[in-house]
Structure 1
Amino acid sequence: MSTRLAFITGASSGIGQALALRYYQAGYALALVARRTAQIEDWRAANGLDAQRVGIYEADVAVPDSIVAAAQASIARQGLADVVIANAGISIGMDTAMREDIAVMARIFAVNNVGMAATFHPFVQAMRERRSGTLVGIASVAGIRGLPGHGGYCASKAGVIGYCESLRGELRPDGVQVVTLCPGYIDTPLTRKNRYAMPFLMPATAFADKAFDAIEAGVRYRTIPWQMGVVAKLMRALPNAWFDRLLVGRSRKPRQTES
């Protein structure tokens, strides 16, 4: 295939959908994955995207066999992707004192961490052999310091940062790039459920523009928007006692039963 190909999970809404449109506008063919494929098809038609350039695949990234099968189907149909963006993720508040929230944490890790590794898995060896390709992990500023009520999400995104860093070291000698992106607050259906202030809130389309530029430039790690990167560094530098005091009384993310 002469047209470059982007494989994107979580493409039925939010950041994934915005990234899909940005890559399409840049001339890429798309392989889009979600549990709700009808929403992707409706979005494709509404935006006038050429069906010949857009492959749509149904998968649940929390089930490794499901996302691996979708990736293998896309390779068989559209060829080996140039860019793979593991964007699918969930964010649910949790309270460790509640037994049912342990299952919530397991679900978060199944999607955000194991699901990311399973997304990358079908592409790694083939990209090594080709000696080119880019794997993109969508982490979060929330992975830099833990926030009350966000234990599962913060831990999962810290895990994404560490996992992508490890993978980058493994694959760079083979010509395969690994990019870690840490969004701050991006205006999506997911963040609209938050009941606390979201500084430097950025439209999803603006995030997609900056993410596309970062990925094309081959950066290793970037926080978007940059202002949240500054905030994150300051938070990381705060002594624990100060950080704990700063978070007293902060609103918590809704738990699954409260959503």
Structure 2
Amino acid sequence: MNAAPLVFITGASSGIGQALAARFRRAGYRLALVARREAEVRAWATAQGCSEADAGVYAADVRDLAAIEAAGRACIAAQGVPDVVIANAGISVGIDTEIFDDLEVMRATYETNVIGVAATFHPFMRAMRRRRSGTLVGIASVAGIRGLPGHGAYCSSKSAVISYCESLRGEMRPDAVRVVTLLPGYIDTPLTRENRYSMPFLMTAEDFADQAFEAIRAGTSYRVIPWQMGIVAKLLRLLPNALFDRVLAGRPRKHRQGE
């Protein structure tokens, strides 16, 4: 009897990561959940009625390359090679380049949001290639399409995720491994609740997870969720710089660390 399929998710302690875990579990997947806050993930898994066979929990910060590598290897040893790997862990903090301390915030953002994606995929790529199956999912953001004032670290990091996953998609295609890039719009999570500006088409993490699950199952290479934000993103991309700058004039900046 074949084991149920396995999904590996980083940033699984709350928000999008937790919602994705719940959605995949409803679809019959076994879970491999990674977060810095291991106790919170274990408590959630217990509350969901998961057994140890249903859900493996691994403590790791994706900025710590050795730790996320070890988590991946532990997952393979205990549960097998995942069918789906979702690099979801991310941080969102505003920066002001004039302030020296914010350069460290930018470094942390890049290490988490960009290097962390590659580090999440790394332990599984060789095995997926040999098996000639698997799906690698990078969680980017609509914010990666154009830069927003005060949001330079986050926007540029998510733009990097989009380009990285596009590059990886071409590399993995000959070995039948899919790469899916998902661009959430505004999702109601702890990360967005502190935003000081309007968030059009705000959706719940659960609704996002439903649509993300369908896109991942279909192997869609690139998907903006919700679709309305996809239209907004395309329009923003087409705006000339002068008009784009005028539209954003006076928009509240993303909060900085400690604000």
TM-score, normalised on structure 1? 0.98
Partner amino acid, structure 1, of 2:9: I
Report the aligned-residue RMSD: 0.7
> What do residues 144-201 of structure 1 show as CA deviations (whole Å, max 9, x unaligned)?
0000000000000000000000000000111000000000000111110111100000
Q: State the partner residue of 2:177.
A: 176
Q: Distance in 2 between matches of 1:110 and 1:218?
A: 27
Q: State the partner residue of 2:68.
A: 67
Unpaired runs of at least 5, structure 2: none
Q: Distance in 1 between matches of 2:232 and 2:255?
A: 23
Q: CA deviation at 1:43?
A: 1.1
Percent identity for Structure 1 against Structure 2: 66
Q: State the partner residue of 1:15.
A: 16
Q: Distance in 1 between matches of 2:96 and 2:136?
A: 33
Q: State the partner residue of 2:204.
A: 203
Partner amino acid, structure 1, of 2:184: P
Which is further off, 105-114 or 46-55? 46-55
Q: CA deviation at 1:48?
A: 2.1
SS in 1 for 2:183: strand
Q: Does 1:242 align with 2:219?
A: no
Q: State the partner residue of 1:34.
A: 35
Q: Does 1:255 align with 2:238?
A: no
Count of matched residue positions in the alignment of Structure 1 and Structure 2? 258
SS in 2 for 1:123: helix
> After superposition, where does 1:60-209 map in structure 2 within 5 Å?
60-209=61-210
SS in 1 for 2:106: helix
Q: State the partner residue of 2:44.
A: 43
Partner amino acid, structure 2, of 1:47: Q
Q: CA deviation at 1:52?
A: 2.0
Unpaired runs of at least 5, structure 1: none
SS in 1 for 2:258: helix
TM-score, normalised on structure 2? 0.98
SS in 2 for 1:31: strand
SS in 1 for 2:98: coil
Partner amino acid, structure 1, of 2:111: A
SS in 1 for 2:53: helix
SS in 2 for 1:85: strand
Partner amino acid, structure 1, of 2:85: V
> What do residues 108-131 of structure 1 show as CA deviations (whole Å, max 9, x unaligned)?
000000111011001111100000
Q: Distance in 1 between matches of 2:213 and 2:125?
A: 21
> What do residues 44-70 of structure 1 show as CA deviations (whole Å, max 9, x unaligned)?
122222332100000010111111110
